[in-house]
Chains A and B, each alone.
Chain A
């Protein structure tokens, strides 16, 4: 990881203790203190834009971890770093016990099949001048998967598995609907037999009816192939349906991780409660003042020393702005980044729709 010494030092200071979470070292995917700082050059010098600032996660084999957050929380950057589209400034990612951030160049290219990505915009993810069959065959050829004569059949089988008939092999992307193209994107990724599938807003660009088709498809494929998935979305409903566990991100960090049902029954972090209340608006009662104060979201150029949610938190105490809380365990498999979570844990969300 090439970085300036000053940035390295900043990154190291940014990772508080993760004792509780780190104990689970048997995890399939381990992310520790992952930081991604972009540099902002101004006449005053360079400053880091802290897009990811110490993200820690564990994902078990065959599990779907949902990652939810609003714009600027860093979830898309997380997808980019984990799929090695951009370098990490600091931190560690272990995939099934092997260092995933270490390989470079040709060694990395050869290991690429292990982590695959499903994009938000299916029309952008495919070269408009290439037929679907060509787009799907190319990665197989690039990695020498299967004997050349069998590759076309592999692609046809995969098309069938994602619910498209053989005629799609020769079609161009412009002749297909968004939902069909997204199936192609998923199929293309799965042809490489990845160990981890990262889905970055896979249904955000689709209509409601196509969305459910794709989500059903992903669930079926997970069942059949035992896929481990990261499901990144701003849409809490999507994340709620798909995930086994959910991580909530805010201002470059994870603020809460819990099993899905537990997160919705007893959310511990105030931001999680605000998010749930906003996303699952109840009839007639749009009243967010209980969950969010007037305040600014911290800028990634200027992260505060203490808790990043303090400016908007209705339960903020004087010590919250002083020192950043660590991600601590509240119950089995439930972690929250808030020092006072138990004092306002009594507040529950009204029954959701």
Chain B
């Protein structure tokens, strides 16, 4: 594999388990992000997507531990890195945008000091030059009156503003990969659209990769190059964004798309996925989505397969992988009927 084709970030069969025991939160998850690409990791709350982001940069909370798999960034083994190497990795290698901006902002620091940190500390830029760049960055994330806001303290910012400051900080570091966990969820929809527009422009200009973690399919469909769908700690479908949105194969993906975009069915009602995904990880055998899946219908053999055997992650088209018995080639009649 040539360097150009090797993925920038590669997660292989990652398993994360609670220290106190119990079902793994993330169970054999694999994904990869190539240079300059936007991969959207899609799932609902409880699917484990935020934990995946934290695992990649080794920021898991105390009660969770990586118990299997590998994470490789730019060829290096992240899970084996020591403290100094990790510090170098975070920021300039992998930048992170958290869901809660308060977690990332120092309440005692002024905004401009915060945003300038990757420049002054990370790259040794002189303060004046760094502060000028800070103003530029703040403009690029549409913070109004940036000169004034730059002097404010982080605790004085509203939620939406704090999220934008966080974005400016992450961009200042000029990372090769930006992991963004619900970066625009708290923002108004017009602001969100404007920020995504600018983020896309930045990304196209500087060619960094983005791992976008979200449940908002509107954002995904407009912004992502590739989509990976997560359910109960595993990836259940993956492929180019256009392909997944146009031809979703996994029953969960199809249902999620219809639920998120709120397209009415033939009878005017909305598709509702019965049950709840809360206990999906505790299912001992078989497909984790089976209890909520309407696809097998009357097909007894398919029911049996879904209940007893975990489907493998296989190809169902060029560059389109899915984890579903019904989508496997030899049972394709059930899939097309769904």
Contact = CB atoms under 8 A, between A and B. Distances in A.
Interface stretch (B78-86, B117-125, B266-274): B266-274
Interface centre among A208, A216, A238 (most CB of B within 10 A): A208
A275 B194 CA distance: 11
A209 B262 contact: no
B256 A208 contact: yes
A216 B259 CA distance: 11
Contacts of B278: 177
Nearest to A71: B188
Interface residues of B, number: 38
B197 A287 contact: yes
Contact of B262 (A70, A241, A274, A283): A241
User: Which 8 pairs between the two chains have the least Cβ-Cβ distance?
Assistant: A281-B222, A278-B193, A70-B188, A212-B270, A209-B273, A208-B259, A237-B262, A286-B197
A172 B194 CA distance: 43
Contacts of B196: 281, 286
Interface stretch (B6-14, B213-221, B314-322): B213-221
B189 interface: yes
B197 A283 contact: no
Contacts of A279: 189, 218
A9 to B, nearest CB: 31
Given A234-B188, A283-B242, 18 more contacts: A71-B188, A207-B44, A207-B215, A208-B260, A209-B256, A210-B276, A212-B272, A216-B270, A219-B268, A234-B189, A237-B262, A275-B189, A277-B193, A281-B193, A283-B245, A286-B200, A288-B190, A353-B261
Contacts of A177: 276, 278
B334 to A, nearest CB: 22
Contacts of A340: none
A240 interface: yes
Nearest to A217: B272
A209 B45 CA distance: 11
B100 to A, nearest CB: 16
Interface of A: 70-71, 177, 179, 207-213, 215-216, 219, 234, 236-238, 240-241, 274-275, 277-288, 292, 296, 353
A125 B160 CA distance: 25
Nearest to A281: B222
B270 A215 contact: yes
A278 B192 contact: yes
B264 interface: yes
Interface string B244-287: 01000000000110011110100011111100111000000000
Nearest to B46: A207
B195 to A, nearest CB: 10
B189 A70 contact: yes
Nearest to B242: A283
A288 B193 contact: yes
Contact of A70 (B190, B200, B218, B242): B190
27 contacts: A70-B190, A71-B160, A177-B276, A208-B259, A209-B272, A209-B277, A210-B276, A212-B270, A212-B272, A216-B270, A216-B272, A219-B268, A234-B189, A237-B218, A238-B262, A240-B262, A241-B262, A275-B189, A278-B190, A278-B192, A278-B193, A281-B193, A283-B222, A283-B242, A286-B200, A287-B197, A292-B190
Given A207-B44, A212-B262, A212-B270, A283 B221 contact: yes
Given A70-B190, A279-B218, A179 B259 contact: no
B38 to A, nearest CB: 11
Contact of A281 (B160, B219, B256, B272): B219
Contact of B197 (A71, A275, A288, A296): A288
Nearest to B217: A208
Tell me what chain B mostly uses at the interface: helix, strand, loop, or mixed: helix
B223 interface: yes
Contacts of B223: 281, 286
Given A213-B272, A281-B221, A275 B262 contact: no
Contacts of B268: 219
Nearest to A72: B188
B184 to A, nearest CB: 11
B264 A241 contact: yes
B22 interface: no
B222 A209 contact: no
Contacts of A238: 262
Nearest to A73: B188
Nearest to A208: B259
A84 to B, nearest CB: 28
B246 to A, nearest CB: 10
B284 to A, nearest CB: 22
Contacts of B219: 281
Interface centre among B189, B192, B276, B278 (most CB of A within 10 A): B189
Interface in B162-219: 188-194, 196-197, 200, 215, 218-219
A236 B272 contact: no
A238 B218 CA distance: 13
Contacts of A296: 144
A116 B250 CA distance: 40
A353 B245 CA distance: 11
B252 to A, nearest CB: 9
B264 to A, nearest CB: 7
Contacts of A215: 262, 270
B242 to A, nearest CB: 7
A179 B221 CA distance: 26
Contacts of B144: 296
Nearest to A291: B190
Interface centre among B160, B194, B215, B262 (most CB of A within 10 A): B262
Contacts of A179: 276
A127 B190 CA distance: 35
Nearest to B193: A278
B218 A281 contact: yes
A207 B261 contact: no
Contacts of B271: 212
Given A212-B259, A234-B188, A241-B262, A280 B270 contact: no
